[in-house]
Structure formats: C-alpha cells, structure tokens
C-alpha cells in the first residue's frame, strides 16, 4: 500500500462561525482548500474570513489510514450540527456516501420536493404541447420497442446490424461456441426420495409439472445442497417431493 504525506485540517469561517473538517494527501502548502462546494464558493469570495488549523500531520500515511483518522474527528460532530448549522460538513464519514439520509426530516422533505417538482412540471408542460394523436402514436412506438428489446430484438434500422450478414467463418465460430455453452434449460436432475426411489428428470419444468401442480412446493433452493426438501406450510407436507433430495447430473 503506497504511503505519502497527508494531513487532517479544520477550517473556521469567522464571518458565519462555521467549521469544516477534512483530510488531504499532500503538503499543507499545496493550496488545497477542501471538497465541499459551499466551502469552496465562500472561500473564493472572501478568503480573508477563513482560517485553517492542521489537526494531524503525517510524513507517510496511506489514503485509507488517513480516512480512518478523519472519521475519528468527524465522529465528534453532533448530528444536528451538520448541514451548515455549525459545520459545512454534510456527513460524519469520509469519502462519499448517502447525504439525503443524514438530513433532518424537514430538510429531507424539502429535498424530495425540489427533486420531483421540476420533473413533474416539465412533464406537464410537455403534455400541453402534444396532441392526443401524437401522444398515442409515441406511446405505441415506445411500447413496441420495449416489447422487442425484451426479446433481445431491436426493430428495423434502429438495430446496428440492420442490413448486414455474418460471414461463413463467423457463423461457424458462433455455432461452436453455442455447443460449448452449458444447456441450463436441459439440465438433468436426479430426485432421490426418502423411501430410496430415484427418478431422472430433464429440466426443472419436468419436476414442476409432475409434482407441483396440485400442492406447490419450492424445491429450487434445495438442489445440490444434499438437504431434504422441507417447508413450514402444512399443504407442502402432502407433496411427494417433501423429504426428497435433488442433485444435478454433472457433465463428464
């Protein structure tokens, strides 16, 4: 793990009486201010009202170790002091994270409104400018694209391979790769019942159709676990698969 010079610092905004704690890999004299946008804007507009103090300085320290030390200092901040109440810091942990969850309830609701309202307003304004016929036409086109893309197909000239064909050599390679793929839909399974009987099934649907139509039971989670199939549901105990084990036939 590479180690470099690093330090932990605290800024004080004397005009607003706000603080900011952070860390930086580098020299205290390299001109680094901080990663907080509001701190940067305030500092650029009135640098004379800011004063920095170095809390810890290391000649050699890894990035992760410096973050851990920063987290120790950030943990001293009280939750209600975040978000420019007493600190510019918006979270009590270093390097990213979920900022919204750290907001007070009323600020969280404001963030939700500010995030959703512009989208809703823009959608409503767009709807007013489009006729019903055009809206219906666009809806049908979008639904057709979604339907086709679910099947792995892109319609017409929107497909980048539209109008082109594979060469004989490419088709041969594709065929060889397809043969090597594991046939997941045609796997063979051996069902061993509690009375000693065994059955060979081709695919899970074969087991499903034979034993799980009248009294459903989830057997998928027990495949290759050597654990007897079980369930807390009373109806499942009447299923013939109850107590059996299922394993996959391994390819040789």
Residues 66-86 pLDDT 10s: 989 999 999 999 988 988 889
Which of 18, 16, 35 has the alpha carbon at shortest distance from 77? 18
- Say which residue, 217 or 156, is predicted with more confidence: 217
- Give the whole-angstrom CA distance, residue 20 versus residue 55: 12
The percentage of the chain sitting over the pLDDT mark of 90, rounded to a whole number, equals 32
- Give the whole-angstrom CA distance, residue 175 versus residue 165: 15
* Confidence bin at 59 (pLDDT 50/70/90): very high
Please give the pLDDT value at position 183.
52
Instruction: Return the bridge partners of 6, or none.
Output: 25, 58
Query: How far lies 174's CA from each of 162, 168, 171, 186, in Å?
Result: 19, 10, 5, 20
- Say which residue, 101 or 169, is predicted with more confidence: 169
- Give the whole-angstrom CA distance, residue 3 versus residue 34: 21
Please give the pLDDT value at position 143.
63
Please give the pLDDT value at position 54.
96
Which of 58, 62, 90, 59 has the alpha carbon at shortest distance from 74? 90
What the chain holds in terms of domains, given with CATH numbers, is: 4-101 (3.40.1440.10), 185-248 (no CATH)
Q: Residue 163 belongs to what H/E stretch?
A: none
- Give the least confident one: 5-14, 38-47, 198-207, 230-239: 230-239
Token digits of residue 78: 């009280």
Note the helical H segments in 11-151: 37-45, 63-74, 105-129, 132-150
Flag whether pLDDT at 101 surpasses 70: no
Sign of CA dihedral 37, 39, 41, 47: negative
Please give the pLDDT value at position 159.
66
Q: What is the dihedral of CA 222, 223, 227, 228, to 10 degrees?
A: 70
Backbone angles phi, psi at 102, to 5 degrees: -85, -10
Flag whether pLDDT at 146 surpasses 70: no
- Give the least confident one: 20-24, 83-87, 132-136, 152-156: 152-156
- Give the least confident one: 18-22, 88-92, 134-138, 141-145: 141-145
- Give the whole-angstrom CA distance, residue 9 versus residue 22: 6
Residues 173-192 pLDDT 10s: 888 887 776 554 568 899 99
- Say which residue, 112 or 99, is predicted with more confidence: 112
Instruction: Return the bridge partners of 21, or none.
Output: 10
CB 185 within 8 A of CB 208: no
Backbone angles phi, psi at 31, to 5 degrees: 85, 10
Please give the pLDDT value at position 154.
58
Note the helical H segments in 130-203: 132-150, 168-180
Average pLDDT of every residue of the chain? 82
- Say which residue, 78 or 93, is predicted with more confidence: 78
Instruction: Return the bridge partners of 9, or none.
Output: 22, 54
Please give the pLDDT value at position 33.
92
Q: What is the mean pLDDT of residues 194-204?
A: 89
Please give the pLDDT value at position 252.
42
Please give the pLDDT value at position 232.
82
């Amino acid at each position: 793990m590479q180690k470099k010079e690093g330090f932990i610092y605290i800024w004080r905004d004397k005009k607003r009486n706000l603080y900011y704690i952070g860390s930086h890999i580098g020299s205290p004299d390299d001109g680094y201010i901080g990663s907080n946008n509001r701190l940067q804007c305030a500092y650029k507009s009135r640098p004379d009202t800011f004063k920095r103090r170095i809390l810890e300085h290391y000649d050699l320290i890894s990035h992760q170790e410096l973050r851990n030390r920063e987290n120790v200092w950030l943990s001293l901040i009280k939750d209600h002091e975040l978000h420019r109440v007493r600190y510019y810091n918006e979270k009590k942990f270093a390097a990213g994270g979920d900022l919204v969850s750290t907001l007070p309830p009323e600020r969280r609701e404001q963030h939700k409104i500010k995030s959703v309202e512009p989208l809703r307003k823009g959608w409503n304004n767009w709807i007013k400018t489009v006729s019903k016929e055009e809206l219906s036409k666009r809806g049908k086109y979008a639904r057709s694209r979604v339907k086709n893309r679910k099947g792995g197909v892109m319609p017409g000239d929107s497909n980048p391979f539209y109008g082109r064909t594979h060469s004989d050599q490419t088709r041969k390679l594709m065929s060889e790769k397809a043969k090597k793929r594991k046939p997941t839909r045609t796997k063979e399974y051996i069902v061993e019942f509690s009375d000693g009987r065994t059955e060979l099934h081709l695919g899970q649907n074969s087991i499903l159709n034979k034993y799980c139509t009248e009294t459903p039971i989830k057997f998928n989670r027990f495949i290759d676990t050597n654990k007897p199939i079980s369930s807390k549901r009373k109806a499942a105990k009447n299923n013939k698969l109850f107590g059996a084990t299922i394993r996959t036939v391994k390819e040789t």
